Structure 1
Amino acid sequence: MEPKIFVLHENEEWTKPLFDALEELGVPYEDWFVNEGTIDLSEVPPEGVFYNRMSASSHTRGHRYAPELTSAVLAWLEGHGRTVLNGNHALDLEVNKARQYSALEAHGIRTPKTIVTVGKDQLLRAAKKMDQPFITKHNRAGKGLGVQLFHSVEALENYVNSPEFEVPVDGITLLQQYIESSDSTITRCEFIDGKFFYAVHVDTSEGFELCPADACTIDGDFCMTTENTKEKFKILSGFNHSIIDQYESFLQEHDIHFAGIEFIRNQEGELFTYDINTNTNYNAEAEAKVGLYGMKQVAKALANKIQLVTI
């Protein structure tokens, strides 16, 4: 049987652009939707290339245990020596921002000051140690889950004791130094097969919950669909910075093949890296303006990988 690409995911809308690109190239693939199911560990996996696109925000779509099941699947595949792209280590970083920050700092990449907390009392105690303003965010997040800006401990206390307080799915709330950008933008660097593809400026002036995918929904707000009146996502021409080499080295060290890494500059121009998305998406409108297409490039990379698989 001819080897093919197996795409592990839990969001059909986010994955459709990749399937379209694979079909355009004539690359055989199988849609492996991971939510509920079974894996017989005594069986031998099929031959092929396995691309993990599991998301940290899967629980917001009713797929609470999809990452845990995916982890078991990836361990099974890796144990049989299959070619796995964005394997278990990438998944571990995807669903655990605290581990992301520790890994980035260990690689010499600066991140904002962050305190890991479990429990409301501990969160409030930690806030007293943090310079103001500060933000909260969920440890297992995606889509900016739980991101709130506070200018005082009292404001945080009011939120924590209100019905609006969101308990993270893993119980861990991160308290983080707020980095104020001079122009209300962040920069997201996209990497395909471990190499820099392009950088995109993202306008954050309307809020923190931002996602580049055309089909994603965040309460109907902030996320690009068919209109881009404020050019929320703008791909930068000729972006060049020494941080790219650091990012590529980091991805190689952690065996991550596809990722979007986000950074922000403070008003003094200092750069802070604050997020790694190993289930990266791309904005079609921004890409059309410059003629660069992330999913098509991903499909080409997968096509090259399948050529190396022999049965």
Structure 2
Amino acid sequence: MSASLPDLAVVYEHPEWFEPLFRALDRHGVSYVKVPLAGGSFDPAGSPAPATVVFSRVAMSSFLREPEHPIFYAQSLFEHWQGLGTRVVNASALNIDTSKARQMSLIARLGLKGPATRVAHRQADIPAAAQGLRFPVLVKADIGGAGAGITRYETPEKLAEAAGEKWCPVGVNGISLIQEYAPRRDGKVTRVETLNGKYLYALDIESPGDAFDLCPADACLVRPGAPTLTMTKANPSPEIIAAVERIAVEGGLEVGGVEYLIDERNGDVLFYDINGLSNFVANPVQVLGFDPHDTLVDWLKAIVAEEKIKRGGERAA
């Protein structure tokens, strides 16, 4: 590959979400190229990566903004570049990020608690799948983002009616999750961000009512209809941090967040979401006391340096 390649390519779908990242890259003097997925194509017999290192910023909520969303295209593109020997940061997170069903299986496999959940293949299967769950329940799309379409059903009859009329949320892959509703202690959830499998920071997010769109980043908060969120720095217990780090490592998250709530009925810690796209909190210095984008960029710079050394050694050999 040419020595004149930029150090980093940031591959993304949302046109505004990554401006804080781009500003941090500029501050640190990183040579990078922006690669929006819209309009993309590649040659399976060619199309080398556009930079020494590629950073995946693919949002699962992209299907809400564009019917021809790039989620599956990005998976094929990243696998192509990886096959050519390119380091694609966080491509490993796509397997877990693209399925809430896989997320809940991972949480259970690690011996952690989550809301009681059933996974249904078709809308017609939802009422039977929900048998034995405590109502109210939530129905979620398997591939979701920004709280996409999450709907609460108070009774089995209401759920059966919605499923019969095909009103229930389904993912773009046709899969739905039925999950026992757990009331949040103090009306909040906690989002723990990780970097390279290690704790970065945690954030308590409070929302009005049962809002499920809890993205705390700058661009999320200015969207029409977005809920008013209260965000404060959180300090999870060492046990919770250790659990989150296990989830991040086993789930292949190089950069990503894990969300949990405390069930106000019994005090259980319930992990319910694994997110491979971290936009980080708005006003980070005010909320956290530091800007996590700087930490992220320092880590990316180290990866770029490692790749250059490796490629130099391969050329010498």
Question: Same-fold call, TM > 0.5?
Answer: yes
* C-alpha distance after superposition, 1:137-161 (max 9, x if no partner): 1110011112122221122234445
d(CA) in 2 for partners of 1:111 and 1:36?
A: 39
1:51-130 matches, cutoff 5 A: 51-62=55-66, 64-87=68-91, 89-130=92-133
| Offset at residue 262 of structure 1 (A) | 0.1
Specify the alignment match of 2:253 in structure 1: 256
Which structure's relative contact order is higher, taking Cα pairs within 8 Å and 6+ residues apart? 1
Aligned counterpart, 2:315: none
Residue 212 (structure 1) aligns with: 216
Following superposition, the deviation at residue 17 of structure 1 comes to 1.1
Alpha-carbon distance in 2 for matches of 1:241, 1:205: 29
Aligned-residue identity in percent: 27
Unmatched 5+ residue regions in structure 1? 225-230
Provide Cα deviations, 1:34-54, integer angstroms capped at 9, x if missing partner: 134221122243451111111
Q: TM-score, normalised by structure 1?
A: 0.89
TM-score, normalised via structure 2 length: 0.87
After TM superposition, where is structure 1 displaced by more than 6 Å over at least 4 residues in a row?
A: none
Give the 3-state SS of the residue equivalent to 1:169 in structure 2.
coil
Contact 2:8–2:51 (Cα < 8 Å) also in 1? no
Give per-residue Cα distances to partners, 1:246-286, cap 9 Å, x unaligned: 32233233432101100011122111110011111222235
Decide whether aligned partners of structure 1 residues 22 and 218 sit closer, same or farther in structure 2, where only a CA change above 3 A counts: closer
Q: Please tell me the residue identity of whatever aligns with 2:85.
A: G
- Structure 2 CA distance for partners of 1:139 and 1:251, relative to 1, 3 Å: same
1:37 and 1:212 map into 2 onto residues whose CA distance is: 29
| Counterpart secondary structure, 1:13 | coil
What is the match of residue 228 of structure 1?
Answer: none
Does structure 2 conserve the Cα–Cα contact (< 8 Å) formed by 1:55 and 1:94?
no
Distance 1:252 1:132 in 2: 33
Q: CA deviation at 1:233?
A: 1.3
Partner secondary structure for residue 220 of structure 2: coil
Deviations 1:59-80 (A, max 9, x none): 1111534011111111112212
Q: Distance in 1 between matches of 2:53 and 2:132?
A: 47
